Structure 1
Amino acid sequence: MPPILITCAITGSIHTPSMSPYLPVTPEEIAAQAVEAAEAGAAILHLHARDPETGQPSADPAHFRAFLPRIAAATDAVLNLSTGGSAVMSLEERLAAPMEARPEMCSLNMGTMNFALYPMAERVEEWIHDWEKPFLEGSDDLVFRNTPRDIARILTALGRERGARFEFECYDVGHLYMLRHFADRGLVAPPFFIQFVFGVLGGIGADPENLIHMKRIADKLFGSDYAFSVLAAGRYQMPFAAKAAAMGGHVRVGLEDSLTIGPGELAQSNAQQVAKVRRIVEELGRTPASPDEAREILGLKGAAATAI
């Protein structure tokens, strides 16, 4: 089997500060946890920004600039900037930072979908910030928008014009067909790096048979032109990582996707999750890829060609 790519999603836009004291919020925390995750074995760092005063998800390029150079100076890991931001942001807001930074890699959600977070609000007893509870509860009427026109714009502006490659986030089977559609239009070329996403309410459920089905459909649509990685939310994170590694795929962990390290136990850092998944994949006979190996596998342009 090829080297396994370990991606770590450092902070995201789903979890809120009241859910875990270990969720990185400030630029210093995001940078420190990102570097530690890379040192633990993550070849790719999936990055969002937050307002350091409130902990709210942010699309402000200044908030990204506050940590991106620090990470780049301390590690050669691939820096992967989100184009998803948060479902409450406009497309222009979501693209502002990656358009400026011109990263090697960006994430790209392959469709419009319900993104329901409201069950999380029931688990929090005390709130640190006033925005958190309404943000979560309001997601019962929230749609994450990524229309075909939006996707085409992202592929053109960040891919064709700025040389980024993509982590294609596929939350359901239909998203695989959407990716095939854009490949047929010539807006994206192989190798495709497809992130199967399980367990988000509004997307495909975290059932083992769904992983097998997603892999079977991807094989049908893309043949040998793709590599797949697996992200599973919450308690499903590590079991699905083990399944993906055993199937020849790659893995993603991080506090964006799960706040725990085991049943009922909060992870104290992103690096703790990376170290755990590294032990799992190595026990299965897989060798974690270095950042340079990740660049070769994914056909990336290299850190020197970015504006970070």
Structure 2
Amino acid sequence: MIFEAFITCAVTGGGDGVERSPHVPVSAEQIAESAIAATRAGAAVVHIHVRDSQTRRGSRDLALYRDVVQRIRKSNVNPVINLTAGVGGNLFLGSEEAPLPPDAAMTDMAGVRERLVHVEELRPEICTLDCGTMNWGPRSNFIMVNTSAALRAMTARAKEFGVRPELEVFDTGHLVMVHDLIKEGLIDDPVLIQLCMGIRYGAPDDLTTLMALVHQLPPRAVYSAFSIGRMQLPYAGLAPLVGANVRVGLEDNLYLSRGRLATNAELVQRAAEILERIGVRVMSPDEVREKLALKVHS
């Protein structure tokens, strides 16, 4: 068990939660305000996606990222900013009998430079990389695509920018990729890993699977663990027991309790209460910066 931990708030994501809860932020102003409120509630790190205000779907628009980041940096709170670099790897194939061409209306595939343009300009302290390719969703032709070549190129560019990658691991094979990146000198210490549990066709959120992942982590890695849906808040209490930090937020879960829709600040506040009640001190943003040896860019 660890006796201090930091909380990451995953503010909005790019999925369909916006259709199921009025609290999921959409505009740049809403996303920034929600991130600021989550920081005041106890989050040290805010994990940021942006959304198109018209379609309300996830976006790669640099102007939107710029707006969100500037609003957060101008606020009177100072969270560690973590920008996703996962957008741009969404492949929706055609039908089962005719997979090609892909569904052009839904597919969003971009090259490495395009996927990292917001990271290059805005220089957050952390950017998140998905460490593999996997099927996504039942009865779906959607594949989350992250080739090993692209991941090597993305980690190399993040290193060049002075931005620490957070390596998102959805299954055991993704940890093989993590170990390869470390061996090749593409990731500097301390290695930062996010164990993503409970996502269909990835690692289920049972304790046996979680421990299998924990036992395969690189030595001295700093890691967090979360589960989507109703197991999000139980994982806030479980994570420190396996040496992990905590992630909550509306990207992964919409509810504070059965039938009670949450805000990001409420999820962070509940996670902080859980940690404090089990004797785990909640870390501040500056403590996280020191722990992770983050480079602060203006």
TM-score after normalising by structure 1: 0.86
Q: Secondary structure at the match of 1:8?
A: strand
What displacement does 1:263 show?
Answer: 2.0
What displacement does 1:2 show?
Answer: 5.1
Aligned length: 277
How far apart, in 1, do the equivalents of 2:170 and 2:5 lie? 21
Structure 1, unaligned runs of 5 or more: 119-138
Counterpart position of 1:271: 265
How far apart, in 1, do the equivalents of 2:110 and 2:294 lie? 24
What displacement does 1:24 show?
Answer: 0.3
Q: Secondary structure at the match of 2:281?
A: coil
Q: Secondary structure at the match of 1:45?
A: strand
How far apart, in 1, do the equivalents of 2:155 and 2:232 lie? 29
- Paired AA for residue 298 in structure 1: L
| Aligned 8 A contact 2:226 2:239 in 1 | no
Counterpart position of 1:215: 214
CA RMSD of superposed structures (Å): 1.4
Correspondence for 2:121 among 100, 123, 126: 100
| Aligned 8 A contact 2:134 2:143 in 1 | yes
How far apart, in 2, do the equivalents of 1:180 and 1:214 lie? 13
| Deviation digits for residues 201-230 of structure 1 (CA, Å, limit 9, x no counterpart) | 121111121111111121xxx22x212201
Correspondence for 1:91 among 103, 110, 124: 110
How far apart, in 2, do the equivalents of 1:202 and 1:248 lie? 25
How far apart, in 1, do the equivalents of 2:197 and 2:60 lie? 25
Counterpart position of 1:73: 74
What displacement does 1:89 show?
Answer: 2.6
How far apart, in 2, do the equivalents of 1:59 and 1:148 lie? 21
What displacement does 1:53 show?
Answer: 2.2
| Aligned 8 A contact 1:11 1:30 in 2 | yes
Q: Secondary structure at the match of 1:209?
A: helix
Counterpart position of 1:148: 148
Counterpart position of 2:47: 46
What displacement does 1:17 show?
Answer: 2.3
Pick which of 188-197 and 270-279 moved more: 188-197
| Aligned 8 A contact 1:11 1:255 in 2 | yes
- Paired AA for residue 85 in structure 1: V
After the TM superposition, which residues 264-303 of structure 1 pair with which residues of structure 2 at under 5 Å, given as runs?
264-267=259-262, 269-302=263-296
- Paired AA for residue 42 in structure 2: G
How far apart, in 2, do the equivalents of 1:64 and 1:244 lie? 30
User: In percent, how many aligned pairs have the same letter?
Assistant: 37
What displacement does 1:16 show?
Answer: 3.9
What displacement does 1:158 show?
Answer: 1.6
| Deviation digits for residues 33-80 of structure 1 (CA, Å, limit 9, x no counterpart) | 100000001000000000112211110101111221111111210000
How far apart, in 1, do the equivalents of 2:242 and 2:55 lie? 41
How far apart, in 1, do the equivalents of 2:294 and 2:3 lie? 17
Q: Secondary structure at the match of 1:167?
A: strand
What displacement does 1:194 show?
Answer: 1.0
Counterpart position of 1:26: 27
How far apart, in 1, do the equivalents of 2:177 and 2:215 lie? 16
| Deviation digits for residues 237-262 of structure 1 (CA, Å, limit 9, x no counterpart) | 01122111223310000000111111
Counterpart position of 1:174: 173
| Aligned 8 A contact 2:3 2:279 in 1 | no
Pick which of 188-197 and 35-44 moved more: 188-197
How far apart, in 2, do the equivalents of 1:45 and 1:89 lie? 24
| Deviation digits for residues 240-298 of structure 1 (CA, Å, limit 9, x no counterpart) | 2211122331000000011111123211x100000000000111111111111101111
| Deviation digits for residues 184-206 of structure 1 (CA, Å, limit 9, x no counterpart) | 11111221111111111121111
1:82 aligns with 2:84: yes
How far apart, in 2, do the equivalents of 1:15 and 1:294 lie? 31
- Paired AA for residue 115 in structure 2: R
Counterpart position of 1:255: 250
- Paired AA for residue 291 in structure 1: P
| Aligned 8 A contact 1:245 1:284 in 2 | no
